[in-house]
Chains A and B, each alone.
Chain A
Amino acid sequence: MISILLLLAAIGLALLGCGYLALSQPKHSKAVLNVDANSASHNFARLLGWTFIAASIVPCVIRDGWGFAVLTWSLVVPSAAMIISLLLAYRPELLRSIYRSCV
């Protein structure tokens, strides 16, 4: 049970991180939030994005130790990125409700 929660935590953090990274790009933030955010908030979103992506390795390490964690993390992040780009294409409103707070 705990191992499933840790895995979900890793995926969740990676999704958050990739989402913020996407919104740090003017074309996506405009499409999702419908505002012309300034560059300061884009920089902040980028920082948050990388922080969450880096943090998503922590649950992997707790779950399996470093050996498997690096590999799991290196596959969790691109999978999350893939999901974010699909959400941007098909369901941008889902991202809107989550990220309105920040950018």
Chain B
Amino acid sequence: MTEKPGFRPAMNWLHTWAGLTLGTLLFTIWWMGTLSVFDQEIDRWMKPETRLAPASQTLDADAVISRVMEKYPGDELESFLIYLPRERKPFFEVYGELKDSGRVNERLHAVTGEPLGESRSRAASGFFYPMHYRLHMGGIGYFIVAFATLYMMVLLVTGVVIHRKIFVDFFTFRPKKKIRRSSLDLHNVTGVMFLPFHFLICLSGFAIFPGFYASPPFAIAKAVSESNETVKLFYAASDYAYYRREPAGEPAKMADIAPFVARAEAIWTERYDQPAKADRIDLHHVGDKNAYVEVRRFFPSRRMEAHRDSINFDGVNGEILMDFEASPVGQARNWLEGFHQIQFDHWPLRWFYFIAGLAGCILIATGFLFWTASRMKKGAVSQPVKIRFVEAMSVGSVTGMIVATGAFLVANRLLPAEAAWAGLARPELEVRIFFLVWVLSFVHPVIRSNKAWAEQSWAIAALGVLAVILNWVTTGDHLFASASRGLWSVAGMDLVLLASAGAAALAAMRLQQRPDSSATMRRKPDASKPVDATKPSPVE
């Protein structure tokens, strides 16, 4: 079996071992990224109070501020941040800093301004999405994900190099052959067909965070020089709008905010020659003579590229203090960022991203499956610990991650509204359940060996159906009710859950056949034939 030294065997070695050691990490990032394609829709499902119809006519910024201040009579605003409603997120999200009450955070109905109450889940935008790019590990998470992304690109390229018959096997999928063969077919097909997209999604994901990769040296520089100039340099280098000024200490009457938003939108509409809407408003030093208002637009709805548009107005006299436009280099980066973040309104494209994401998940999963299936074939019984370790890692990383996601959704619908346990609030309880189930999914294959693949697939199917039923029971929004109310986010989520349950059940039935591996494993506990158990299965 020893191969001649050469380029292709070397690439094969790199592909196998990089895939094996980083597969868990890659599947986690890839799966969470795929879910994040529909982060807002998952949010609507997991936070029923936000299941609102998109509104065309929304409150203006001044009405939003007065709605929030009604709750704090006599208090004064210092700074304020408003995220404006969008099609996929039809409500206001505001963060304020008040003189006496401190920090406040509210979500308001887009039309009536009614507060939506406290959020009871971190859901997709607060849990899946951050896990995608920083693994809930803080700063170091960005670097781990960046490293994994680079390796994913290495794996994509080495995969092409070691794949001998790219064109002949382009459409070849043989599901009825042995699991080793059909998993390799599926690995090749998904890998080759989506290669350009997968490569670009890795590249653009890597290119989003240059600021973070540069942050340690900047942090040192800032600590050493202790001046704002370094921060300014940092923002200029990463091509962000940056405007700051200190309060004057003299009170002054603030101008209305809504006209600033209208003026900014008019400027952008003219500049880009298409209707522009602001995303976000920042108020600084409210009530001071040096007050200023920043109106921003990151994601144009009908363009792919992200923007860094930002206009700063003097909060008292309405003068434009800074009008930021990205440099040409910044525009290239904007394209990559817009491509990766998918904040534009284009539903078919969003679904295609989801399909490509799932293809990437299948690519990684079948890579694992092929490794274990081919080792089993080569007489794995003589080295069961190593194989079983990798198998446990693969099962936990792939099906375990999906089971944990299902458990997260089910927990979200099952936990009572005021649930709290051991000092953990409801959102944190959901997260703990996710991690607990995930850890258990690594233990399960240690006990059940290669039956775990199929058993966890059955668990995914059961959790998918259960989540849909629980959604109906707890909110009354069954499939037809949500569809008839125009809540396509919720209806779509239910449909995808049912489809996933079906797919998982099919996969479970297929995995239960596993003729090549189960034949050798089944013989193991048979005490009457101890000789067979240690004998490697005959090589065909």
Which residue numbers of A lie inside 8 Å of B, CB to CB?
7, 18, 21-22, 25, 27-28, 64, 67-68, 71-72, 74-76, 78-79, 81-82, 84-86, 88-90
Contacts and interface: CB of A to CB of B under 8 A. Distances in A.
Interface string B151-173: 00000000000000001101111
- Determine which residue in B170, B339, B356, B359 has the highest number of CB atoms from chain A within 10 A of its CB, and name it: B170
Given A79-B355, A81-B170, A81-B171, A7 B348 contact: yes
Nearest to A26: B168
The interface centre, meaning the residue of A28, A67, A81, A89 with most chain B CB atoms within 10 A of its CB, is: A89
B346 A64 contact: yes
B349 A75 contact: yes
B253 interface: no
Given A28-B171, A85-B171, A85-B173, 8 more contacts: A7-B348, A25-B168, A72-B346, A75-B355, A75-B356, A78-B193, A88-B173, A89-B174
Nearest to B174: A89
Interface string B179-192: 00000000001100
A25 B171 contact: yes
A81 B169 CA distance: 12
B5 interface: no
Contact of B173 (A21, A27, A64, A89): A89
B356 A71 contact: no
Contact of B352 (A25, A67, A72, A90): A72
18 contacts: A64-B346, A67-B304, A68-B344, A68-B349, A71-B349, A72-B349, A74-B197, A78-B194, A78-B356, A81-B170, A82-B189, A82-B359, A84-B171, A85-B189, A88-B172, A89-B173, A89-B174, A89-B176
Contacts of B167: 25
Nearest to A90: B175
Interface of B: 167-168, 170-176, 189-190, 193-194, 196-197, 303-304, 339, 344, 346, 348-349, 352-353, 355-356, 359
A72 B356 CA distance: 12
Contacts of A7: 348
Contacts of A86: 173
Sorted nearest first, the 8 A-B pairs with minimum C-beta distance are: A75-B352, A78-B193, A85-B171, A22-B171, A89-B173, A85-B173, A81-B193, A78-B194
Of A21, A22, A79, A86, most B-chain CB atoms within 10 Å: A79
B196 A85 contact: no
Contact of B190 (A22, A75, A82): A82
B342 to A, nearest CB: 10
A74 B359 CA distance: 14
Q: Which of B167, B339, B348 has its CB near the most chain A CB atoms (within 10 A)?
A: B348
A67 B172 CA distance: 32
Contacts of A27: 168, 172
A85 B169 CA distance: 10
Contacts of B344: 68
Nearest to A70: B304
Nearest to B362: A82
Contacts of A74: 196-197
Contacts of A64: 346
A21 B170 CA distance: 10
A75 B173 contact: no
Contacts of B359: 78, 82
B100 to A, nearest CB: 49
A75 B171 contact: no
Contact of B339 (A28, A71, A85): A71
Contacts of B170: 21-22, 25, 81, 85
A35 B538 CA distance: 37
Nearest to B168: A25
A91 to B, nearest CB: 12
Contacts of A81: 170-171, 193
A92 to B, nearest CB: 11
A75 B193 CA distance: 9
Nearest to A28: B171
A95 B173 CA distance: 15
A25 B346 CA distance: 36
Contacts of B356: 75, 78-79
A38 B102 CA distance: 80
Contacts of A76: 352
